[in-house]
Amino acid sequence: MFKKLFSKINRFVDGDVSFEIKPKETKQRRVSDHREKTVAARYTAWHDKYGYKTFRGVYITISCVIAICVIAVLLYTVSYLPPYGEAANPVNNEVTERYLEKGMEETGAVNIVAGVILDYRAFDTFGESCVLFAASCSVMMLLSKSKKGKGEEMLLNYNPKRDPVLRSLAKVLVPFNLMLGVYVVLNGHLSPGGGFSGGAIMGASLILWSSAFGYRKVKPVFTEKRVKIITFVSLSFYAVAKGYSFFTGANHLHSIISPGVPGRIISAGLILPLNIAVGCVVTMTMYSFYALFTREEI
């Protein structure tokens, strides 16, 4: 015992022993693998498991509620209509009589149908034209492809070899069809016709020309940007012109737009320029639909 003590003292004197206190080893707690999930992680897990079912249920519920509300409003409105066959019911509608008796005097249009569509009920026609524009833009966004990396040879694959008979017929028919379409648009207030029918004729002429000669012959004239500009300008003019006309009429203000002399080409107030605007919208819409659905470039 004394020998061990003397040996330790000698080692301490020689510098071999130190009295540093060693820290006690503490047992580390075992880290649990379980961690609290974040809100984003919980939502992702819930969406993957129940998201589609929940969305489908909410969608069906909202659709049913809207349908029931619309049906209720329509039934409530119908309940106020006069009973069928009642002796006190009017024989003729006074609105129809007003159109027939005062239509030419108030609108200046010989074609009463054009007067009703583009004067009395011009906003209905404006809504129809906006529907065509929205449909055209939707088709462009869904079917148009990026031009980057697309060569002209790839576009030519969408255009098979043209039939010489079709080309010969197109050279004869397209100019006359375009002239007929312009005539129908410009004389819509004087004779049967107008922007919709004339625009359909001109749109069909462009489709025939593109089918016979390919997109190269039409593309330099009607590009995607020009189609959008023509349609937008036509609808903007329509909205501004009829907005002014309805504002002055509703407030009993004097309008600078005169109905003119019925029977002349420059007459019927705004009906002639509105027919031109509607014809442009219909023409551009028809050709853009054809060009995109056949995978040709506008």
Instruction: Residue count of the chain, please give it.
Output: 298
Instruction: Report CA dihedral (179, 171, 292, 130) to the nearest 10 degrees.
Output: 0
User: pTM for the full model?
Assistant: 0.65
Neighbour count for residue 59 (Cβ, 10 Å): 10
Work out the percent of the chain whose per-residue pLDDT is above 70: 79
Is residue 176 within 8 A of residue 257, CB to CB? The reply is: no
Tens of pLDDT, residues 21-66: 555 555 555 554 555 667 777 777 877 777 788 888 889 999 999 9
Tens of pLDDT, residues 57-79: 889 999 999 999 999 999 999 88
Helical (H) or strand (E) element with 98: helix 94-107
Q: Which own/partner pairs from 100-108 qualify as long-range (CB within 8 Å, at least 24 positions apart)?
A: 104/262, 105/259, 106/259, 107/259, 107/268, 107/269, 107/271, 108/189, 108/258, 108/259, 108/260, 108/261, 108/262, 108/267, 108/268, 108/269, 108/271
**DSSP code of residue 48:** I
Is residue 261 within 8 A of residue 189, CB to CB? The reply is: no
Return d(Cα 259, Cα 252) in angstroms, integer. 16
Neighbour count for residue 280 (Cβ, 10 Å): 24
Query: pLDDT value at position 44?
Result: 79
Tens of pLDDT, residues 168-214: 888 899 999 999 999 999 999 898 888 999 999 999 999 988 888 87
Return d(Cα 189, Cα 10) in angstroms, integer. 128
Tens of pLDDT, residues 115-173: 888 888 888 888 888 888 888 888 878 776 544 444 445 554 445 556 788 888 888 99
Query: pLDDT value at position 149?
Result: 46
